[in-house]
C-alpha cells in the first residue's frame, strides 16, 4: 500500500459481518477433512423453477433490454406485483407510484434509512435481527435503538418498553415477520398496535416480509398492508429470493405509502440504475405463473422441518416448531453459550449452524438452523447430534 487513509467511522463501527466469521470456521473444518453439513446460511439449495429460467433465456434476446433499465422498474413488472398482491393479500396497489423494483430486498432495506435518517437520528431496530436494519441506519449516520425480541413476548417487540423520549425522537421502525432468525410470526393485533404506535409518535414502519410465502400447516402470513392505516405509515419489503429460489438473481420490491416509496426511489435513482430488465421479465413469470411451484417448495421445507423437529425432540433440545420461514431457532443446552454450542456442533459433529448472538446480543442462548439441506442430510445431522 502506497497510501494510508483511515477507514470511515461508519465502516469501523460495524459489528463483524456474521456469515464471514462462520465461513472462516467452516473453511478450517473442511481443511481438517471434516464432512460438513451446512445448516448455517439461509440460501435455498433448490434451483430456480425451470419456467422462470426459460423466460430469462428468451428475454435476453430482446435488444431493448440491453440498455439501462428504468429507475423505478418496468411498469409491467410493477403491474405484476400489484396483481400478485391483490390476489395474495387482497390489497390494491397503484403500480405507478406504490410499487418500486429493488435489486433484491436487502438493497432496498439497506438504502432506506438514507431517505429519512439524518446524523444522530434514531431508528428502532429489533434484536436478534437480519443485520441490514442496523447497518443501513449506521450508514445513514443514525443510531439504532434496540428493541429486544424475547421468548416471553413471542419474539415481538414490547412497544410499551420503548421510553417515551426515544419514541418521540425515532423516525423509523424496522419489523420482520415471519421472522428471521426466530421464525416467529405476527398477527393482526400486533400490526394494529404498531400502526397506532407509529401514528402517536410520528414514525415510519418498514416491514420486511421476505418470508411471507414460506409457511406451513394451516398458517398463512398476512401482509402488514392488509391492516387499516398501514399504507399511511409504512412500506413493506418483499423478495423473490426465498419464494422462488432466486437469491442469485437479485430482484425484490417495496410497496406501500406513495410518499415513502418516492423517497426511497429518490435515493436509489442517485445510486443505482435499476434491475436488468431481463431479470424483471423472469420476475413477471415468477409472480404470474401457476403458484403450485411455491406450494412444492413449501412442501420440501415442511418435510425437512418435521424430520428436524422429531430429531431435536428426541434429543431433548428446546425449540418452537416454526409455522413459517425455513429456520428453526433452538435454545442452547445448559452450560453452552451460542458461540460454544456452534463451535461444539462444528468441531464434534461437522454441523455448521449460526450462533444466535450473531444477530444481536438478544440472540444469546440460541442457535439458528436453516432447513436448506436435503432430508437425508438432515437425518444424518440428527444422528450426529444424538451421538454427541
Ligand X SMILES: *Cc1c(COP(=O)(O)O)cnc(C)c1O
Residues near ligand X (CB under 6 A) are: 42, 104-106, 130, 176, 180, 208, 210, 239, 241-242, 247, 252
Shortest Å, Cβ 198 to ligand X: 20
Shortest Å, Cβ 35 to ligand X: 27
Shortest Å, Cβ 348 to ligand X: 28
Shortest Å, Cβ 103 to ligand X: 8
Pick the closer one to ligand X by CB: 247 or 337.
Answer: 247
Shortest Å, Cβ 315 to ligand X: 26
Pick the closer one to ligand X by CB: 38 or 241.
Answer: 241
What cell was used for 231?
A: 399504507
Encode 209-232: b = buried (16+ Cβ within 10 Å), e = exposed: bbbbbbbbeeeebbbbbebeebbe
Q: How far apart are CA 36 and CA 257, in angstroms?
A: 45
Pick the closer one to ligand X by CB: 77 or 130.
Answer: 130
Tell me the pairing of strands 234-239 and 37-38.
unpaired
Rounded to a whole number of angstroms, the CA Rg of the chain reads 21
CB 155 within 8 A of CB 179: yes
Pick the closer one to ligand X by CB: 18 or 34.
Answer: 18
Shortest Å, Cβ 246 to ligand X: 8
Pick the closer one to ligand X by CB: 116 or 211.
Answer: 211
Pick the closer one to ligand X by CB: 42 or 265.
Answer: 42
Shortest Å, Cβ 208 to ligand X: 5
| Dihedral (Cα; 148, 235, 196, 228), 10-degree rounding | -130
Distances (CA, A) of 323 to 96, 182, 185, 211: 34, 11, 7, 11
CB-based contacts of 210: which residues, under 8 Å, 6+ apart? 105, 176, 180, 237, 238, 239, 241, 242, 252
What cell was used for 93?
A: 396497489
Pick the closer one to ligand X by CB: 3 or 20.
Answer: 20
Pick the closer one to ligand X by CB: 106 or 231.
Answer: 106
Shortest Å, Cβ 372 to ligand X: 11
Amino acid at each position: 500500500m502506497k497510501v494510508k487513509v483511515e477507514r470511515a467511522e461508519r465502516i469501523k463501527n460495524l459489528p463483524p459481518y456474521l456469515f464471514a466469521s462462520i465461513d472462516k470456521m467452516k473453511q478450517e473444518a473442511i481443511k481438517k477433512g471434516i464432512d460438513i453439513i451446512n445448516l448455517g446460511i439461509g440460501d435455498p439449495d433448490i434451483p430456480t423453477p425451470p419456467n422462470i429460467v426459460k423466460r430469462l433465456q428468451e428475454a435476453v434476446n430482446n435488444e431493448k433490454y440491453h440498455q439501462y433499465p428504468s429507475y423505478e422498474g418496468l411498469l409491467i413488472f410493477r403491474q405484476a406485483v400489484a396483481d400478485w398482491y391483490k390476489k395474495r393479500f387482497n390489497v390494491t396497489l397503484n403500480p405507478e407510484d406504490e410499487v418500486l423494483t429493488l435489486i433484491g430486498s436487502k438493497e432496498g432495506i439497506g438504502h432506506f434509512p438514507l431517505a429519512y435518517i439524518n446524523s444522530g437520528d434514531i431508528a428502532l431496530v429489533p434484536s436478534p435481527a437480519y443485520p441490514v436494519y442496523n447497518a443501513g441506519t449506521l450508514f445513514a449516520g443514525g443510531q439504532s435503538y434496540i428493541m429486544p425480541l424475547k421468548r416471553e413476548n413471542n419474539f415481538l417487540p414490547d412497544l410499551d418498553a420503548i421510553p417515551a423520549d426515544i419514541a418521540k425522537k425515532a423516525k423509523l421502525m424496522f419489523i420482520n415477520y415471519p421472522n428471521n432468525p426466530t421464525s416467529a410470526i405476527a398477527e393482526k393485533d400486533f400490526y394494529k398496535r404498531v400502526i397506532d404506535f407509529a401514528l402517536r409518535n410520528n414514525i415510519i414502519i418498514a416491514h420486511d416480509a421476505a418470508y411471507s410465502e414460506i409457511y406451513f400447516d394451516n398458517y398463512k402470513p398476512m401482509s402488514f398492508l392488509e391492516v387499516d392505516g398501514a399504507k399511511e405509515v409504512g412500506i413493506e419489503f418483499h423478495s423473490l429470493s426465498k419464494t422462488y429460489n432466486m437469491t442469485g438473481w437479485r430482484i425484490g420490491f417495496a410497496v406501500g405509502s406513495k410518499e415513502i416509496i418516492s423517497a426511497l426511489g429518490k435515493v436509489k435513482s442517485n445510486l443505482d440504475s435499476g434491475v436488468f430488465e431481463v431479470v424483471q421479465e423472469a420476475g413477471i413469470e415468477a409472480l404470474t405463473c401457476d403458484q403450485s411451484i411455491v406450494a412444492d417448495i413449501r412442501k420440501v421445507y415442511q418435510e425437512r422441518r418435521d424430520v428436524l423437529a422429531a430429531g431435536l425432540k428426541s434429543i431433548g433440545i428446546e425449540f418452537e416448531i416454526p409455522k413459517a420461514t425455513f429456520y428453526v431457532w433452538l435454545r442452547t443446552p445448559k452450560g453452552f453459550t451460542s458461540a460454544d454450542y456452534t463451535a461444539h456442533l462444528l468441531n464434534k459433529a461437522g454441523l455448521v449452524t449460526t450462533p444466535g448472538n450473531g444477530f444481536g446480543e438478544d440472540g444469546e442462548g440460541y442457535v439458528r438452523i436453516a432447513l436448506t439441506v436435503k432430508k437425508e442430510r438432515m437425518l444424518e445431522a440428527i444422528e450426529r447430534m444424538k451421538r454427541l
